[in-house]
Amino acid sequence: MTFDVAIIGGGFAGLTAANHAALGGLRPLVFEAGDDDLYMCNSRVATGALHVAFHGPEESAEDLYTAILDVTDGTAREDLARAVADNAQATIDWMREEGGEFLQHPRRSWGMPMMAPGRAMRAGLDWENSGPNLFLQMLGEKLAARGGELRRGVRVGSLVVEGGVVTGVALESGERIAAKAVVIADGGFQADRELIREHITVDPQKIRQRNTETGRGEGLRMAADIGAALVGLDKFYGHVLSRDALTNENLWPYPQLDVICAKGMVVTRDGGRFCDEGLGGIYVTNAIAGLADPLSATAVFDSSVWEDAKENDIVPPNPSLVENGGTVLQADTLAALAAKAGLDAGGLAATVEDFNGMVRAGSAPALSPPRTTKVYPAHMFEKAPFYAIPLCAGITVTSGGIAVDGRARVLDRTGAPIPGLYAAGSVVGGLEGGPKAGYVGGLIKAFGIGRIAGREMAEQIAGSAAGTV
C-alpha cells in the first residue's frame, strides 16, 4: 500500500490536514503515537469553544485579522494571521459539512460556537460525551472511508531529507516511510520538561500540566534538526489553577481562577502585586510561571468577588473549588488573612491601601504594576470576609513553535519554505504570544491551519484541492 503524504499526529490538526488531502485526491497516512482506540490528545479533551482571539469565526475576516494582531500586540506573522482569518468561515462550514454541530457557549455572550454536545459544567477532566471527542472519532472514520489511514501506536522519530527536500519520516522503530510531503501536527512542547525549563519557567515541577501530556516537543525538535526556524517559545496558553491542582486530579482543567484573579489581586509572599491582573488569566498564568518561585503566588479578594464567582466562569469556582478539595482561606481582617496565607501582613496592607486609593481615584491603570480596566473593572478591596487562594500556573498548550507561512509551509532560518514540509495545530509558532501572551485559539490553529495544509498539499501534489470546502 503506498501513500502520498505522511502526517505526524492524530489530533484535530493532523486529521483535518489528512481529510482535506484525501478530499483533494491524495492518500494520507497519519502516524499517531497513542495506541488506544480513544488515544489521549488535547483535541479529545478540549472544551470545544471555536474562536479566533475570542471572536466568533463567522465574524468578518477583516475583524478577525485585526483581533489577532491586537491580542498579540502586532507580533503575529501577518500572512499567517491573514490566512487564519480568511479561512475561519470556511473552516466552520467544513466542520458542519462533516457532521459537526455547535451550540452557543453557555457562559460567554459574544457569539462563540461551542462543539456539541457541550461539556458538562463540572470540575475535573471530563470529555467522554463531549463534542470534541465525538468529532475526533468521526474524522478518523471519514479518513478511512476516503482511502487514508490512521495508524495508531506508531511514534515518528525524525524527518528524512534528501537534497534539501523532505521525502518522508523515520519511525522510532527505525523504519523509513517515503512521502511526497510531511505534516508535523504533534501538538506542541508543553509536556517536555527540558524545553519548558529552557523557555517558560525555572521549575517545570511547579506548574500544572493542564493537558494530556502528549505534546512532547518531538515535532519541534525534528523540524529544528533540519534547519526550521522556531518562533515565540516563551509564552503559553493556560489558566490559573488552585495550587492543590498539583496533587488533586479533580482540580484541573477546571475550575480555573482567572476571573477571581482579574477581579481581585495576585500577590507574592511579600504581599506585593507583580503583574497586571486586568489583562486576564492567560497573561496572569504566564506571569506566575515566570516567577522566581512559581509556587509563591496567592489570589486575595473580598467577599464581593467570591460571591460573583458563583456565576462568572466556565466552571465557576464557588462552590466547586471547595467541594472538590481546593483550599480557600477566609478571615475577617486583612492581617488575619495574611497570617493564614503565609503573606507578609504589612506588605499586604500597604498593597491593599495603595490599590483602594488608586481605584477610588479612578487611576488603577497608573498603579505599579498597572491594573488594566478595559475588560475587568477594578473593584475596591473592602467587603469582609476576605479570602485567599494559593495558586499555580496551569499550562495547556505552548503558543510558540515552528515558523510557518500563510500556506502552512515550514520556514527555514532564512525565511524560505522547506520543500515538502508543513506544520499545523499547536506545534505552529508565529500566530500567538507577544508581550501579553495573546491567545488566538487552539482549535482554530488545529482546524484552520490543518485545513490550509491539507489543501495546499492537494494543490501541490495532486494539482487540485477539488472536493474540499
The binding site for ligand FAD (CB under 6 A) comprises 8-14, 31-34, 39, 41-43, 45-49, 155-156, 185-187, 211, 214-216, 218, 253, 396-397, 425-426, 441-443, 446
Q: Can you tell me which residue has the cell 490566512?
A: 83
Cell numbers placing 272: 506585593
Nearer Cβ to ligand FAD, position 45 or 421?
45
Nearest approach, Cβ of residue 218 and ligand FAD (Å):
4
Residues 50, 54, 58, 61, CA torsion sign: negative
- Smallest gap from residue 430 Cβ to ligand FAD (A): 15
By the 8 A CB rule, do 464 and 25 touch? Answer: yes
Would you say 253 or 264 has its CB closer to ligand FAD?
A: 253
Task: Give the nearest distance from C-beta 169 to ligand FAD in angstroms.
Answer: 9
Q: How far apart are CA 139 and CA 358, in angstroms?
A: 53
Residue type (1 letter), 439: Y
Output the smallest distance, CB 82 to ligand FAD, in A.
19
Give phi and psi for 284, each to the nearest 5: -65, -40
Neighbours of 403 (CB within 10 A): 23
Minimum separation from the CB atom of position 274 to ligand FAD (A): 26
Crossing angle (nearest 10°) for helices 12-23 and 442-457: 30
C-alpha cell at 123: 470540575
65 or 127, CB closer to ligand FAD?
Answer: 127
What whole-number distance in Å separates Cα of residue 234 and Cα of residue 76?
14
Q: 100: buried, middle or exposed (CB in 10 Å: 19+, 13-18, 0-12)?
A: buried
Nearer to ligand FAD, 13 or 309 (CB): 13
Residue 220 has what DSSP assignment?
Answer: H
Residue 52 or 352: the one with the smaller Cβ distance to ligand FAD is 52
Q: Closest CB to ligand FAD among 433 and 442?
A: 442
Q: Whole-angstrom Cα distance, residue 188 to residue 201?
A: 16
CB of 422 to ligand FAD, least distance (A): 13
- Closest of 169, 124, 173 to residue 153, by C-alpha: 173
Closest separation in Å from C-beta 321 to ligand FAD: 17
Spell out the residues 6+ positions from residue 463 whose beta carbon is closer than 8 angstroms to its own: none
**Complex with ligand FAD: residue 255 or 264, whichever CB lies closer:** 255
Q: How far is the CB of 308 from ligand FAD (least distance, A)?
A: 22
237 vs 376, beta carbon nearer ligand FAD: 237
